Every structure is written in C-alpha cells, then in structure tokens.
Chain A
C-alpha cells in the first residue's frame, strides 16, 4: 500500500469522523431550544411553546440595551438575596458569553471562521472549473485536460476534510462561546440546519464518488457523462450549502422575517431571503471561483519551480496558465458584483453604508483598492510574460507600455482616498477640505470609471495574448454558418441586454425633476447598441479588427470618460439615479467584452498559426507573480471578511440582538492587520501542508506526464 492510499484512507476516515461530529452537533441543536427555553423566563418559554405560527425569541428591541450587561459563565444575576437564592440564580442564570481558556472569544471565532471560509471557498470554487475543464477535455478529445481536472479534484478531496474539520470547530466555538446568540440563530434557522446536514452528506458522497470513480467511469461516452453528472451534482450541493450558510450570515447583517421589537419569527422564507442574501450569494460564488483559480495557479507555480524535467515544467506552466485564466476570468465581473452588494448594504441600512464607505471602514477600502490593483497588475504581468513563450507575440509587445500606463493610472485613481491624510501645514497650504486629486479621484464616480477601464485593459491583454501565435486570418465568408450564427447570437444577446434595459429605464418610478437624469443613460445604451451592431456588420465585411477597435473606443468614451463626468452630476443632483447609472455602465462594458470576444474567436478561428506555444519556457518571475496573486487574494478575502462582519459594529444581529460582551468594539486597523496577517499565514501554511499530503504518492505517476505531452502534441491549439 503506497503513501497515497494511506492518506486517502486517512482522509476518508477523517471525513466520516467529522460527519459523525457534525451529526452529534445536530442532535445537540435539536435539544438546544429546550435548553435555551430553560434559560429564558418562564413566560417566554410558554409563549414559545404556545406560538403556533412562529417561534418566540428572547425579547430584544432595536436600539435598546439589554437590561443586564454581560453574564459570564457561572456569574449570578444581580439582586440575588440569599445564599440559596444566589445558588438557584446561578444555576438558572442564562449564560450569554463564555471565554476560550481566557482568550478573546471574538478573535477565536474570527480566526476559525475565516479559515473555514477560505477552505470552503477553495472547495466550492475548484469543482466549478474542474467540471468545466473535464467537459472541455472530453469534448475536445484531449487527455491533458482530463488529467488536470483530476489533479484539481485530488487537491479538493484533501482540502475537503480540513474544511469540514474547521466547520465543526467553528460550530463548537459559536455554540460554546456565544450561547445566547446561537440560541437565537437556532430558533430562527433550525429547519435549515437539517437541510444543511443533508446537503453536506450529498456533497461528501458526490465529491468522493467524483474523485474515486474517475478511472472507473472512462471508456464510453455514457460513463463519462455520468461522471460529469456527478461533478455537476457536487457543484449543486456545494453551492446549496454556501447559499444556506450565507442566509445565516446575511441575516445577521440585515435581519428579516422577524418582528424586530420582539424577535418573533414570522417568516423563515424572509429570514433566509433577507435583503443581502442574493448579493452575497452572487459575490461569493464568483469570488470562490477567482480564489480557487489563483490558489491552483500558486500550486502550479510551486510545482513548476520544483520541476525536474521539461515535461513537468510544461505541464505545470500550462496548469498555472489555466489557473490564472480562471482567476482573472472571475475577477473581471467581481467588481460589478461587489458594487451591487455595497449598494444593497447601503439600501438596507444607510448607517452601515456610511460606516462602510465613508466611516470607520473607509480606510480598509483603500487597502482593498491596493490589493485589487495588485491582482489586476499581477494577472496582466503574468499574461505579458506568458507571451514570451509564444512565437509571433513580438507583434503585440508594443502595446505593453500603453497598457501599463493605463492600468497604473487607473490604479492611482482607484486608491486615492477622498479624505487624505494631511499634516496641519499641508492643510493650511491647500486651504480647503479637499485637494483636487482627492476631490475628483476620491469619489465613486471616478472609481467606477477607472475600474471599468482596468477591466477593458485586462481584456485587451487577453485578446493580444490569444492572437499572439495567429497570423493571417481567413475571410469571414469562409467561417461558414458557425461563424455567422456565432456573431449573430452574440449580437442578439448584447442587444437584448442593452435595449431591454434602456426600455425599462423609461418606466422607472422617479419624480420628474430626477427622471431627467435618466435620459442620458438611455441614450448611452442606444449608442452602445448601435456600436455593437456596427462591429458585427464590419466583421461580416471582413473588417472585424476595425469593428473591435470601434467598439472599444465607444465603450471607453461612454463608460469611462462620459460617466466619470456624469457621475458627479448625478451625485450632486439625483443620487437615486446612481443605481441606474452603475447598471448602465456595467451593461455597456459587458456588451463590449462579450461582442469583442465573440468577434475575436470567429475572426481567428481558421487563422494560420505563426508559431507554437513552448510550454515551460517561462521566466521564474512569472511563477512568483502567480504566488503573489494567491497571497493577495487570500489577504483580500481576509480583509473583506473583516469588513462584512465588522459592519455590524456592536450587534450580533444588526438592530435586533446587541453584543454586550467586552469585545463589542471595532478593532483598530493595526489589530485587524495583525489578525488578518495571522489568518493568511495559517491558511497558506495549512493549504501547503494539505497539498503536500495529497501529493505524497505522486512519484509513481510522474512518468505519465511525458506520455501525455507527447500524445497531445498535434492538438496544440487546445492549449490556447
């Protein structure tokens, strides 16, 4: 029995152990309401038992401080008269908080939950693209894709047990350290917890079924499709799990479905589908794919750096490229999803919105801007370096300096804060509140504009990358029906998106003096629709490149330059229109990305190859760029986790259940930095250990790589 099998068996056993622990916890949960019922007053218990339509929760009122402050474990309630009464009180006193061996409970929960989230993000993100890669390999007949998908899944199965273990630990920490809060959560969400457990079963079975049946379900198309079906089910279970837990987390930020004054549950549906649930779902779904892509990229980079042969280098270079491609692909829509989430946070509570963007958390968003800027720069840098291994790419390297200029300029605007750190002397010399740089760069209108330009520039980098080894194009008439249908489908999709939104804007319910600000948005959408049509028309006339350039120019003019200026106008006069402006901006940029990508695919479909791609011929610094991307996204996730959770300030459940513990304060930035740093180090250390475990039996399989690359050499185009 080799080491791999030992590790796999160990992993399987540990998963079942975790499942056992989880169901023990679930049994405990089913008893918990009764335990908590004993903690609250007798009247409340009766009311709770008697409530037919909902669950009566402990009394909490918005904005009202609970009568008793913190009751630590074993501490008698105030006012106990005699010794006997004191003992009775002590026995009956509801325990609000406990400590973790004298440590700060909040920090313990913070670290454990963030680590759990990071592993969960990996475990949920990687199957999405593992299945896609498997399908691509299956349809294209390239065994290399299949092998890579399997390698992804191998990492997944190793990380899954750790995720589950951390999830169990988090559950114990929460129930142990925050019993009153978890009592409330259990009362509201207990039915979903059973569903969660069932889905966890589903995920565990499909994951292990998916991984261990890889070689068995080969040979016939039916078998392979069944294997892919298992992968799809794995994704569905994983996504379902995430959606459920998101409902708990977002309920804490924007509680719904309860009577705020009493905490009585009136609608479980609304408690789940609270205002922030769907924005967080979408944001996390995309972010998980991005996270998974960059972590896989770092894994490939480490393997590349330690590779002993050219075949290994080629394999892991290619894997790193795919990881980066997936990471960047998901990174591009992420700011849109993040902006939507931010807006909904503001809509659910203007206080939270103000704290987030202009208040106590505003500086964390500057750090976020730096990290996101580093992600875009790192991803582009890797692409540019990657062009060095493609013969024919020399034709496009002249664009690098312009792209660098644009991206760094945008980065500069992106991180410029509205309120600058100023000394007294500087303040006196400037003579007013805002320096022009911060006045014009520091507000959302400017930041939305530049982030869209960064996205367009990154997309342009991708276009020149994929064109690098392609030479003379075949006339569009030779593309046949597929080409025409492809372009036409893209055109219809973009037009539907743009025109339907333009029409819907005519019917928004706003006061007349505000509605006039919507008209330029409608006009912009129609202009973009025309530009998309023109690009398609030019493609049909064998002038696709001109069409693409035109579309880029129109998009940048409207979504970046014009909306930068117009955003200020709207901010000043009609802030309600900002919501429509941002959607218009996103729609215009997305239509450009979609249409230009489709044109590029069909324009170069039968183009002559200038040269091949020499996989493995990458400078070492490119691999460090991949490592940097991984570290940055892990820090980013840690930071954003802090922001999302910290926005509740001193509330467990915002406006409903106040945090009266001694840790109910917003940590200072330096403390946050230390804890997030610790989490990042712990996660990277753990993930390195888990991947090392997963690869213990690798030596036996190494010989396969050479065979794969030799076998698939004729399918060079598949690499691109």
Chain B
C-alpha cells in the first residue's frame, strides 16, 4: 500500500515541471537582469525553453518509473477510488486542466501571427586555407616593437573599429544599437580569445562579403577592409584589439 506521499507522485512530478517552467519563464529573466545589472529582463530563448522543458518532463518520467512500485503509484493517481478529498479535487483539476493546457498550446502554435524566423547560427565561419598558415609578423618581434605595435594598433582600432565595436572593445560602439545583430563583445572569453589571430586577420580583410558559402545565410555587417588597410595595419589592429579587450589570442599548440 503506497503511503500518502507516494500516492501523490504524479502531482509532485507535475508540480516540479511547473516550477521549472516558472523559473525559466519568470524568475530567470529577472535574476539575470539583477546579476548582470541590465535595465531590462533577459528572457529565456524559446529554443532553450523547449529543450529544458523536455528534459524536465523526461526527468520526471524517469524518476516515476525507476521502480515498479513508483510506476504504479504514479499512474494509480488517475484511477478512481477511495482517498482523501484533496485527491479527488486534484484529479478533477487534472482532467479539466490537462486538455485545456494542450488546447492552449495548440492554439498558440496554430494562431496566425508574424514573427521573424529562428536562425541557426554558426559561431566561426570556416577560415579559408589561404589564411590558415599566416603568422602575425609582429608577434615574434622584441618586446619594445610589440609594445609600439600595440599602441599603434589601439589608435587604428579606435579610428576604424570603435564606431561599432566600442572604445573598450565591448561591442557597445555608438552605432551598435543600429544593428539587428549587435557587434560582438570581444571581452567575452568565448569570442576572440578562442581563435588564432590570423582568423581575425581574415575577418577584417574580407568582412561579411568574404564569408564562405557554407552555412549561409550569414548575418554580418562587417565591412571588408582589404582595400582600405594595409596588411601591417590589420596585424597591428588585431594586437591593439586584443589588448583593449583584455584577452589573449588562441595560440598554436605543439602536437604531442
């Protein structure tokens, strides 16, 4: 005979899934707003919401079926029988609420509306082979020369890149808000710190128009600078950019 608590296993699982939904939908945007000192909430993207909810439901079902007894307890809640008044009340709620919930989902998915499509973004476009073997000529120079290059690069960065990428290379330039996809925050360790500096050389030289045909359509407003900047200037900008952002380029590793 199942005890009182296990007799309500189905309700516990539903409650846990509901709490997860509440956390993702309402609590998490507020929490991130506070933690990241934003002036607006940070809503959980719909794709993540869907994935996390599927996992929440799956976790509940896995838990409810880890033993035959639990499985019986889980399902037997739906069966008519003797029990406390609250059970009967919750059963009715469930039998009315579940179809309504499904109906609501179907309605919200099926109702005509306008929304921009969800895009499957690729972080790093494929670097062409021609650029793979390039080396920054100033990286091997003596410390004094490197320092000089970085300073020159910072000036060039502020001249050419600041309007979009910001004076601190944090993606908050004066033009940043005019783009649908804001310029990247280079201070984020998941951006330029994860690529070798010839990758940046390619992106600056070729810009958005030079992106490869794979994984199109791309969403990049980066101009091509190959007609405006010399190679040396681009290398210096890269050095200045890393220094401004306070991160290091990914370095080539020796094979073991």
- A-contacting residues, B216-252, CB 8 Å: 246-248, 250-252
Q: Are B248 and A351 in contact (CB under 8 A)?
A: no
- B-contacting residues, A437-493, CB 8 Å: 437-439, 442-443
Q: Does B210 contact A (CB under 8 A)?
A: no
Q: Does A72 contact B (CB under 8 A)?
A: no
Q: What are 13 of the A-B contact pairs (CB < 8 Å)?
A: A359-B126, A360-B214, A388-B68, A404-B62, A421-B45, A422-B121, A423-B118, A431-B38, A431-B42, A432-B171, A434-B190, A575-B250, A621-B65
Question: Residues of A contacting B193 with CB < 8 Å?
Answer: 571-572, 575
Question: Residues of B contacting A437 with CB < 8 Å?
Answer: 28, 44-45, 48
- Interchain CA distance A378-B64 in the complex, whole Å: 15
Q: Does A619 contact B (CB under 8 A)?
A: yes
Q: Does A547 contact B (CB under 8 A)?
A: no
Helix, strand, loop or mixed for chain A's interface? helix
- Known A400-B66, A423-B117, A432-B185; judge A574-B248 contact (CB<8 A): yes
Q: Does B163 contact A (CB under 8 A)?
A: no
- Known A344-B255, A400-B63; judge A423-B44 contact (CB<8 A): no
Cβ 8 A contact of A412, one of B55, B126, B188: B55
Q: Are B253 and A576 in contact (CB under 8 A)?
A: yes
- Known A384-B66, A422-B119; judge A350-B48 contact (CB<8 A): no
Size range of the chain B interface in the assembly: 35 or more
Name A510's closest neighbour in chain B (CB-CB): B251
Q: Does B104 contact A (CB under 8 A)?
A: no
Q: Are A421 and B118 in contact (CB under 8 A)?
A: yes
- A-contacting residues, B173-191, CB 8 Å: 180-182, 184-185, 188-191
Interface string of A155-178 (1 = CB under 8 A from B): 000000000000000000000000
Cβ 8 A contact of B66, one of A385, A423, A431, A442: A385
- Known A400-B63, A431-B40, A437-B44; judge A346-B190 contact (CB<8 A): no
Q: Are A405 and B59 in contact (CB under 8 A)?
A: yes
Q: Does A640 contact B (CB under 8 A)?
A: no
Q: Are B122 and A358 in contact (CB under 8 A)?
A: yes
Q: Are B62 and A420 in contact (CB under 8 A)?
A: no
Taking the closest CB of chain B, its distance from the CB of A206, in whole angstroms, is 33
Q: Are A436 and B36 in contact (CB under 8 A)?
A: yes
- Interchain CA distance A575-B250 in the complex, whole Å: 6
Q: Does B140 contact A (CB under 8 A)?
A: no
The list of the 10 closest CB pairs from A to B, nearest first, reads A358-B124, A424-B116, A572-B189, A408-B59, A358-B123, A419-B121, A347-B253, A571-B189, A359-B124, A354-B124
- Known A362-B123, A412-B51, A649-B126; judge A420-B188 contact (CB<8 A): no
Q: Does B207 contact A (CB under 8 A)?
A: no
Q: Are B248 and A572 in contact (CB under 8 A)?
A: yes
Question: Residues of B contacting A537 with CB < 8 Å?
Answer: none
Name A568's closest neighbour in chain B (CB-CB): B189
Question: Residues of A contacting B58 with CB < 8 Å?
Answer: 377, 408
Q: Which of B42, B62, B195 has the most CB of A within 10 A?
A: B62
Question: Residues of B contacting A416 with CB < 8 Å?
Answer: 48, 51
Q: Are A421 and B121 in contact (CB under 8 A)?
A: yes
Q: Does B108 contact A (CB under 8 A)?
A: no
Question: Residues of B contacting A418 with CB < 8 Å?
Answer: 123, 190
- Interchain CA distance A573-B192 in the complex, whole Å: 11
Q: Does B3 contact A (CB under 8 A)?
A: no
Taking the closest CB of chain B, its distance from the CB of A192, in whole angstroms, is 22
Q: Are B185 and A421 in contact (CB under 8 A)?
A: no
Q: Does B14 contact A (CB under 8 A)?
A: no
Q: Are B47 and A420 in contact (CB under 8 A)?
A: yes
Name A374's closest neighbour in chain B (CB-CB): B58
- Known A63-B130, A434-B188; judge A275-B255 contact (CB<8 A): yes
Q: Does B52 contact A (CB under 8 A)?
A: yes
- B-contacting residues, A379-433, CB 8 Å: 381, 384-385, 387-388, 397, 400-401, 404-405, 408, 411-412, 415-416, 418-433
Q: Does B127 contact A (CB under 8 A)?
A: yes
Question: Residues of B contacting A397 with CB < 8 Å?
Answer: 66-67
Q: Are B67 and A385 in contact (CB under 8 A)?
A: yes
Q: Are A422 and B182 in contact (CB under 8 A)?
A: no
Q: Are A429 and B40 in contact (CB under 8 A)?
A: yes
Cβ 8 A contact of B51, one of A401, A415, A575: A415
Q: Are B185 and A433 in contact (CB under 8 A)?
A: yes
- Interchain CA distance A517-B42 in the complex, whole Å: 33
Q: Are A404 and B199 in contact (CB under 8 A)?
A: no
Q: Are A435 and B185 in contact (CB under 8 A)?
A: no
- A-contacting residues, B16-72, CB 8 Å: 28, 32, 35-36, 38, 40, 42-48, 51-52, 55-56, 58-59, 62-63, 65-68, 71
Question: Residues of B contacting A358 with CB < 8 Å?
Answer: 122-124, 194-195
Question: Residues of B contacting A424 with CB < 8 Å?
Answer: 116, 180
Helix, strand, loop or mixed for chain B's interface? loop
Q: Are A439 and B43 in contact (CB under 8 A)?
A: no
Q: Are A420 and B48 in contact (CB under 8 A)?
A: yes
Q: Are B251 and A576 in contact (CB under 8 A)?
A: yes
Question: Residues of B contacting A433 with CB < 8 Å?
Answer: 171, 181-182, 184-185, 188, 191
Q: Are A346 and B253 in contact (CB under 8 A)?
A: yes
Question: Residues of A contacting B255 with CB < 8 Å?
Answer: 275, 344, 347-348
Q: Does B115 contact A (CB under 8 A)?
A: yes
- B-contacting residues, A304-347, CB 8 Å: 343-344, 346-347
- Interchain CA distance A422-B250 in the complex, whole Å: 27
Name B246's closest neighbour in chain A (CB-CB): A572
Question: Residues of B contacting A347 with CB < 8 Å?
Answer: 252-256
Q: Does B11 contact A (CB under 8 A)?
A: no
- Known A427-B181, A575-B193; judge A655-B129 contact (CB<8 A): yes
- Known A348-B255, A621-B65; judge A420-B45 contact (CB<8 A): yes
Name B127's closest neighbour in chain A (CB-CB): A351
Q: Are A350 and B59 in contact (CB under 8 A)?
A: no
- A-contacting residues, B58-109, CB 8 Å: 58-59, 62-63, 65-68, 71
Q: Does A62 contact B (CB under 8 A)?
A: yes
Q: Other than the known A411-B55, A423-B119, what 17 A-B pairs have Cβ atoms closer than 8 Å?
A: A348-B255, A350-B252, A354-B127, A359-B124, A360-B122, A363-B120, A401-B63, A408-B55, A408-B58, A420-B47, A421-B45, A422-B47, A436-B35, A436-B36, A438-B48, A572-B248, A573-B247
- Known A350-B199, A408-B58; judge A430-B67 contact (CB<8 A): no
Taking the closest CB of chain A, its distance from the CB of B142, in whole angstroms, is 14
- Interchain CA distance A443-B215 in the complex, whole Å: 21
Name A363's closest neighbour in chain B (CB-CB): B120
Question: Residues of B contacting A443 with CB < 8 Å?
Answer: 189-190, 194
Q: Which of B124, B130, B188 has the most CB of A within 10 A?
A: B124
Interface string of A102-130 (1 = CB under 8 A from B): 00000000000000000000000000000
Taking the closest CB of chain A, its distance from the CB of B176, in whole angstroms, is 9
Name B116's closest neighbour in chain A (CB-CB): A424
Q: Does A7 contact B (CB under 8 A)?
A: no
Name A427's closest neighbour in chain B (CB-CB): B181
Q: Does B155 contact A (CB under 8 A)?
A: no
- Interchain CA distance A283-B73 in the complex, whole Å: 43
Q: Are A350 and B127 in contact (CB under 8 A)?
A: yes
